[in-house]
Chains A and B, each alone.
Chain A
């Protein structure tokens, strides 16, 4: 999906530049800036990294270096909805791998990918700390606990029915 055209708006750019100007002098501002930028655009394409490099007065390579180090930063856009399957130990012991496999099969994509209609993307994530409800998945931050492969697929399908 890296070849998706960048569709940032001038309003988004203004918002980002304003945030950077306000924070760039505080020590260690790069992480909060990247987090804000991802919040505004949803992901961190090259165009956004260039704005950050320019405003922060650092080389693009440095922005890219930090952005690619942390798994929460994404350089490619996500689907309209993101399903995230917890692969923490407590969930794994209770069969999270089967949940992920069932969702991958249902959507026909692998974790880290986005469906061709841009509707769903799948992530796997580390422990959400909701181990009491293992196995757990989230869709757009909403937590679904005590999943089975069947119930997980049903939940996915319910998003398509709402459309």
Chain B
């Protein structure tokens, strides 16, 4: 079909009320719902987190129960991620906005029988934070988790059905593309991006408008627009959630970028580990083509643009821009030296721009609401919002979008709900294997590109892993170095050899085999790698080590000098001991010890000789009084 503004507006109006019911406060939503065909709408999260905890079975149960009772004026919608992944499967019933967490198929049946049919909200199944002491139900926006958030990149996630392009259009979808194609010149689009202050959300923070301007300035008959959805940082799932929850936002932005630089072909490079995201993206591309929003002569202009998906195959380095392009070309995904930069010679040797999923998710809204609106959010140098995937030792694991400049403390203590089990905060890791650890003294740092770099970490793509006092920082540094060693592509020797040497030294430290001079060697090698590696993977590979060494040097020294791991994580440094208060002298441990390391007489506390002990753990397994412990 040929898409026109009239047609687009018609689709928007047809679906607007249905979708707005989910965006308004309860009283207004109820009024709005009367104008739709549905008395109630049940939204179920179909993101990876909730799907893994069984949301598809919940949907099945809801639909079955509705059908059984011949209810036709209630709509079940499978949406993208709501953010509260640890509480999945998440179900919201509109217009009331009742937020059910950890829903089971049995719970789904009750929701239909009690809530939908009789109007009695199942309060015991609601997310406890949304139930006030006096029994009143609070809107989700009033809970700690959502109150401080500001949703721009995630604005449609958990609101629309990502497999229905009309719901995207209902919330102004593809109007930005129309505006760009019919009212703006290429330079005006680029100037708007520059003025908005939007910077790359993949980690490095390069101004998006400048990237586009460089590429537009390069003369070529063929150019490409690429989207980096190879979200490889372990613990990061922002891009996946956007693709799963709002894939059209990415496609629309890629088309806008295509217009700005003069490209007619786009590629989305997605990790194969994200099957749901790939499937939603495929559906979105298909629908956009059917509606004439991808393809030839979009909105009856000269502009033609199409998008193809390319799947990764499990190589972390392919998140690096030149490696990603080499991989799309069907080769080993090794990085190329820059210059030439991709804006000059990129994919298939043609000028190319590559932006991250989250970066694209901001573009259409900047076009519609203006650069001034966007640049009014955030800090001096970092504009807009940032999505973080908060994980690790934190109560509310999930997806969080906050204005730049929000402090780590606000994210961890207020939105994240603090550290579970009464443990103490030790550090937060941002930026994945390229980033660093932020210790508790810096917990009040406002998060933006510059301030994170100043304290030795980086924004990265947005993974934020919280660690408590049980985490050994040397072990964490070793964990990241093992990751990097495996993922180093091997093309340049500073990375290939350097990462292995770093890992070897870290391994020695965790085994008590290192000397104190090793710490200086680590720092020296890290400094060399920063300047001599070919790509960002190697240049930043030492960050997790150097940042933990900077803030937790005494922990490294404790391992080396005292052969002690205070977090009790490094097994080789632990020793089995017997608590004399608990030991009844039953002799079971000494009889089972294969090396005769345990001495003691009957009914007297026993003792383990740590020099003889081989740490097999049989004594601990056999003790009936829990007297054997590791220290």
Q: Which residues does A use to contact B, with CB under 8 Å? A: 27-32, 34-35, 65-66, 69-73, 87-90, 92-94, 125-134, 136, 141, 143, 145
Q: Which residues does B use to contact A, with CB under 8 Å? A: 48-49, 51-53, 84-88, 231-237, 240, 272-275, 310-316, 327-334, 348, 389, 391-393, 397-398, 429, 432, 463, 465, 467, 471, 476, 479-480, 483, 489
Question: What would 7 A/B residue contacts be, using CB atoms closer than 8 Å?
Answer: A27-B330, A28-B330, A32-B311, A70-B315, A87-B234, A92-B479, A134-B397
Question: A66-B331, A70-B314, A89-B432 known; A129 and B274 CB under 8 Å?
Answer: yes
CB distance from A74 to the nearest CB of B (A): 10
With the chains together, A146 CA to B90 CA distance in Å? 17
Cβ contact within 8 Å between B330 and A30: yes
With the chains together, A136 CA to B467 CA distance in Å? 18
Partner of A128, one of B53, B273, B315, B432: B273
CB distance from A16 to the nearest CB of B (A): 16
With the chains together, A97 CA to B516 CA distance in Å? 28
CB distance from B31 to the nearest CB of A (A): 35
Cβ contact within 8 Å between B86 and A133: yes
Cβ contact within 8 Å between A145 and B53: yes
Cβ contact within 8 Å between B329 and A28: yes
Question: A72-B313, A127-B233, A134-B397 known; A143 and B52 CB under 8 Å?
Answer: yes
- Chain A contacts of B53 at CB under 8 A? 132-133, 145
With the chains together, A73 CA to B332 CA distance in Å? 12
Cβ contact within 8 Å between B48 and A93: no
With the chains together, A139 CA to B273 CA distance in Å? 14
Interface centre among B237, B275, B479 (most CB of A within 10 A): B237
Cβ contact within 8 Å between A89 and B429: yes
Partner of A27, one of B329, B392, B463: B329
Cβ contact within 8 Å between A129 and B237: yes
Q: Which residue of B lies closest to A71 (CB)?
A: B314
Partner of B273, one of A27, A32, A125: A125
Partner of A131, one of B84, B235, B332, B471: B235
Extra pairs beyond A72-B312, A92-B234, A133-B49 (8, CB < 8 Å): A27-B329, A70-B315, A89-B429, A90-B397, A129-B231, A129-B237, A131-B85, A143-B52
With the chains together, A125 CA to B234 CA distance in Å? 10
- Chain B contacts of A88 at CB under 8 A? 234-235
Partner of A89, one of B235, B310, B348: B235
Cβ contact within 8 Å between B465 and A90: yes
With the chains together, A136 CA to B307 CA distance in Å? 33
Cβ contact within 8 Å between A133 and B52: yes
Question: A69-B332, A69-B489, A133-B49 known; A28 and B237 CB under 8 Å?
Answer: no
Cβ contact within 8 Å between A132 and B86: yes
- Chain A contacts of B313 at CB under 8 A? 31, 34-35, 70-73
Cβ contact within 8 Å between A130 and B330: no
CB distance from B117 to the nearest CB of A (A): 31
- Chain A contacts of B397 at CB under 8 A? 90, 131-132, 134
Q: Which residue of B lies closest to A144 (CB)?
A: B52
With the chains together, A1 CA to B312 CA distance in Å? 26
Cβ contact within 8 Å between A69 and B237: no
CB distance from A56 to the nearest CB of B (A): 9
Question: A131-B235, A145-B52 known; A89 and B391 CB under 8 Å?
Answer: yes
With the chains together, A121 CA to B232 CA distance in Å? 24
With the chains together, A70 CA to B489 CA distance in Å? 10
List of 6 A-B pairs having minimum Cβ-Cβ separation, nearest first: A132-B85, A30-B330, A88-B234, A70-B313, A90-B391, A129-B237
- Chain A contacts of B393 at CB under 8 A? 93-94
Partner of B332, one of A65, A129, A141: A65
Partner of B391, one of A30, A34, A66, A134: A134
Cβ contact within 8 Å between B333 and A69: yes
Question: A72-B314, A129-B273 known; A89 and B463 CB under 8 Å?
Answer: yes
CB distance from B435 to the nearest CB of A (A): 10
Cβ contact within 8 Å between B86 and A126: no
Partner of A93, one of B51, B273, B275, B465: B465
- Chain A contacts of B88 at CB under 8 A? 132-133
CB distance from A92 to the nearest CB of B (A): 6
Q: Which residue of A lies closest to B432 (CB)?
A: A89
- Chain B contacts of A30 at CB under 8 A? 330-331
Cβ contact within 8 Å between B315 and A132: no
CB distance from A55 to the nearest CB of B (A): 14
Question: A90-B234, A133-B49 known; A28 and B429 CB under 8 Å?
Answer: no
With the chains together, A133 CA to B334 CA distance in Å? 33
With the chains together, A30 CA to B88 CA distance in Å? 39
With the chains together, A8 CA to B85 CA distance in Å? 42
With the chains together, A73 CA to B333 CA distance in Å? 13
Question: A73-B313, A90-B234, A93-B393 known; A129 and B48 CB under 8 Å?
Answer: yes
Cβ contact within 8 Å between A132 and B333: no
CB distance from A91 to the nearest CB of B (A): 8
With the chains together, A34 CA to B313 CA distance in Å? 10
With the chains together, A133 CA to B87 CA distance in Å? 9
With the chains together, A140 CA to B392 CA distance in Å? 25
Q: Which residue of B lies closest to A84 (CB)?
A: B273
Partner of A70, one of B274, B328, B333, B465: B333
CB distance from B375 to the nearest CB of A (A): 31
With the chains together, A71 CA to B488 CA distance in Å? 12
Cβ contact within 8 Å between B315 and A69: yes
Cβ contact within 8 Å between A35 and B49: no
With the chains together, A35 CA to B271 CA distance in Å? 13
CB distance from A78 to the nearest CB of B (A): 14
Q: Which residue of B lies closest to A136 (CB)?
A: B52
With the chains together, A92 CA to B463 CA distance in Å? 14
Q: Which residue of B lies closest to A28 (CB)?
A: B330
Partner of B389, one of A73, A93, A131: A131
With the chains together, A66 CA to B312 CA distance in Å? 12
With the chains together, A143 CA to B52 CA distance in Å? 5
CB distance from B628 to the nearest CB of A (A): 18
With the chains together, A145 CA to B49 CA distance in Å? 9
- Chain B contacts of A27 at CB under 8 A? 329-330, 348
CB distance from A25 to the nearest CB of B (A): 12
